[in-house]
A = this chain, B = another copy of it.
Amino acid sequence: MQTNLKTTPTDITAYMRELGMRARQSSREMARANTGQKNAALMAIADALLASRAELLSANAKDMEAGRKNGLDAALLDRLELNDERIDGMAEGLRQVATLPDPIGEIEDMKYMPSGIQLGKMRVPLGVIGIIYESRPNVTADAAALCLKSGNAAILRGGSEAFHSNQAIASCVRQGLAEAGLPAEAVQVIEITDRAAVGELITMSEYVDVIVPRGGKGLIERITDEARVPVIKHLHGVCHVYIDDKADFDKAVAVAMNAKTQRYGTCNTMETLLVAEGIAAQILPVLAEQYLAKGVELRGCEKTCAIVAEAIAATDADWDEEYLAPILSIRVVTDMDAAIDHIHAHSSGHTEAIMSEDITRARRFISEVDSSSVMINASTRFADGFEYGLGAEIGISTDKIHARGPVGLEGLTSQKYIVIGDGHIRG
């Protein structure tokens, strides 16, 4: 472990540039690696993880002990913990990525142009991907798998609280890469916990092609602010369900319940329910009863509070809040236009749904709402890489540039134009 040797800023810069150069170099080999080699590496890493169970658990025990000493709360400690089941899960995740189709080298739209050249697009890796994440050590294996399968080199920076766990996983990743004849430096885990290392990573545009931050809003805003490298960001999810007055009552109740209560802590969970005035008096009491039975706190607009006695008054801040908790804000709106206006003002651009049997309204909602997923008569909880058939996801992008919505292997790739001629020159 070289951590303690490298603490002055100059050393950190030199260390990070060294990492960057190795990543850039190995990215060329990764881009050339064939599907069989990449899959062999994924399987070898899975095997190495299972074979290193004892080492992983003992490294994780160090992190857990330090975490307890440093007063991490129960939720954080839970995310930090590795156990047999989670190690099996990491290995299984790697094997699943091995079964996904390889996007690299796929040629699309090949056709003859009027000049006689043949023109097409070939899918290629982005190059070097920097991933910055917090606490959960399994991200080290997941992120490595996705970068590897998409032919990229990766530089990973996990949370300092998971330092020993991440290094132990990294050692399995290196072993698997080497066994498959791929460069072990194709996935590097930063060994410095100093924050200055992140500062270097997100500004080394000559060595890093894109940064994927995974974590809280604070982390992501800081990185977006300071980065000199493109960022694919997963910001936060303030998701809405709008119940139209032409909604099917039972479907609307089922979806509104599912979108809020199936899981509270996920980014595709509904945070604000919008209800058309024409249906509010009938549907809100039914919904409120079910939410309250599940222990969901309700914060409503004036009209909501007039219908639901148990609702407390929402403040302006509630409409922009990602609760990630059993809390729901509810607003009664005059019609779909008012709902769309509310969404444009308060949504984080993640996922919104309309419940309506009216095709003209559904058609307008889906065209006019500008979020990464827009749904008709379905729960926002479906906005997920697995549900969308991507096989795995590195995050859910709320950006409009490059990758939007759940980001799987394809989001870690680019396309280049290819031209085939027979001595063609331009006239």
Contact = CB atoms under 8 A, between A and B. Distances in A.
Given A31-B370, A368-B28, A426 B382 contact: yes
B373 A424 contact: no
The winner among A122, A414, A417 for most chain B CB atoms within 10 A is: A417
Contact of A258 (B388, B399, B426): B426
A423 B230 CA distance: 38
Interface stretch (A68-76, A184-192, A246-254): A246-254
For the residues of A in contact with B, the DSSP-based class is mixed
Interface stretch (A55-63, A160-168, A400-408): A400-408
Contact of A230 (B389, B399, B415): B399
A418 B373 contact: yes
Contact of A32 (B209, B367, B389): B367
Contacts of A421: 375-379, 382
The winner among A126, A254, A355, A421 for most chain B CB atoms within 10 A is: A421
The winner among A368, A383, A388, A423 for most chain B CB atoms within 10 A is: A423
A99 to B, nearest CB: 15
Given A113-B388, A370-B31, A379 B424 contact: yes
A208 to B, nearest CB: 11
A43 to B, nearest CB: 24
A382 B32 contact: no
Interface residues of A, number: 72
Chain copies in the assembly?
Answer: 2
Nearest to A127: B400
Contacts of A372: 416-417
The winner among A32, A372, A389, A419 for most chain B CB atoms within 10 A is: A419
A299 to B, nearest CB: 23
Contacts of A32: 367-368
Given A113-B388, A126-B400, A414-B404, A373 B419 contact: yes
A117 interface: yes
A255 interface: yes
A367 B124 CA distance: 8
A425 interface: yes
Nearest to A421: B378
A418 B366 contact: yes
A344 interface: yes
Interface in A356-397: 362, 366-368, 370-379, 381-383, 387-389
A282 interface: no
A225 to B, nearest CB: 7
A374 B418 contact: yes
A292 interface: no
Contacts of A415: 404
A209 to B, nearest CB: 6
Contacts of A230: 230, 399, 401
Interface in A100-155: 105, 113-115, 117, 119, 122, 124, 126-127
Contacts of A248: 423
A303 interface: no
A14 interface: no
Contact of A381 (B31, B252, B426): B426
A356 to B, nearest CB: 11
Interface string A315-351: 0000000000000000000000000000010000000
A29 B366 CA distance: 15
A343 to B, nearest CB: 11
Nearest to A400: B414
The winner among A374, A375, A406, A426 for most chain B CB atoms within 10 A is: A426
